C-alpha cells in the first residue's frame, strides 16, 4: 500500500496554494452563471419569486408569463477592459468581465394572472409578485339535451 496520496495536479496545487496572487494568467472572462438562482414562495393568493441577478441593469431583465410558465432572461453587459485601456500605455493582463445572456424558466402549478403581476429590482435581486388566477366562481353544470 502506498503511503503517499496520489495527486494528478501536484504542481498546480503547490503553486496555487503557495502563492495564489503571484502567477497572473491572461483570462478572457469568466463564464456566465449556469442559471439564475431562485427562491419561490407561495401564499394563498400569489407566488413570490426572488431571483439573484447581480450586475444586471434593470432594462436588461425580461420576464415573460405564459399561463403557469414564468421565464426570466437577463443580458449581462460588463464593461470591456480592452476599451478602458485604449489610448494608454497599458495592456490588459487579466480581464474577468463577461457579456452574455442567461435565462431560466419555471413551471408553477396554477396559471398566473399576468395583468396583476408586478416586479421590483433592487440591489441585484428581482422580486416578482405573481398572483394566482382565480378559478371561475362555482361549478358550472352543462345541461344535456
Q: Is the pLDDT of residue 71 over 80?
A: yes
Q: Which residue has the higher pLDDT, 112 or 84?
A: 112
Q: What is the mean pLDDT of residues 3-32?
A: 50
Tell me the Ramachandran region of residue 60: left when phi exceeds 0, alpha when psi lies from -120 to 50, beta otherwise. alpha
Q: Which residue has the higher pLDDT, 32 or 44?
A: 44
Q: Is the pLDDT of residue 145 over 60?
A: yes
Band of residue 28 on the pLDDT scale cut at 50, 70, 90: very low
Helix (H, G, I), strand (E, B) or coil at 50: strand
Question: Topology of domain 33-131, per CATH?
Answer: Immunoglobulin-like (2.60.40)
Q: What is the pLDDT of residue 92?
A: 73
Give the residue ranges of DSSP H helices in the chain: 10-18, 81-84
Count other Cβ atoms within 10 Å, centred on residue 39: 11
Q: How far apart are CA 117 and CA 114, in angstroms?
A: 5
Count the helix, strand and coil residues of the chain and give each as a percent rounded to the nearest 5: 10, 35, 55
Band of residue 137 on the pLDDT scale cut at 50, 70, 90: low
Percentage above 70 pLDDT, the chain: 61
Q: What is the mean pLDDT of residues 20-32?
A: 46
- The domain limits of the chain are 33-131
- Report the chain's mean pLDDT, rounded to a whole number: 76
Band of residue 99 on the pLDDT scale cut at 50, 70, 90: confident
Q: How far apart are CA 72 and CA 79, in angstroms?
A: 23
Amino acid at each position: 500500500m502506498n503511503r503517499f496520496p496520489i495527486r494528478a495536479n501536484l504542481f498546480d496545487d503547490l503553486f496555487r496554494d503557495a502563492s495564489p496572487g503571484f502567477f497572473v494568467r491572461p483570462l478572457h472572462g469568466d463564464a456566465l452563471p449556469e442559471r439564475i438562482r431562485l427562491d419561490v414562495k407561495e401564499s394563498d393568493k400569489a407566488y413570490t419569486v426572488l431571483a439573484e441577478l447581480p450586475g444586471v441593469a434593470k432594462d436588461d431583465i425580461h420576464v415573460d408569463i405564459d399561463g403557469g410558465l414564468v421565464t426570466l432572461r437577463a443580458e449581462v453587459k460588463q464593461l470591456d477592459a480592452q476599451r478602458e485601456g485604449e489610448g494608454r500605455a497599458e495592456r490588459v493582463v487579466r480581464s474577468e468581465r463577461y457579456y452574455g445572456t442567461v435565462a431560466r424558466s419555471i413551471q408553477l402549478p396554477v396559471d398566473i394572472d399576468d395583468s396583476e403581476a408586478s416586479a421590483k429590482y433592487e440591489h441585484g435581486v428581482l422580486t416578482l409578485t405573481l398572483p394566482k388566477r382565480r378559478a371561475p366562481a362555482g361549478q358550472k353544470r352543462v345541461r344535456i339535451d
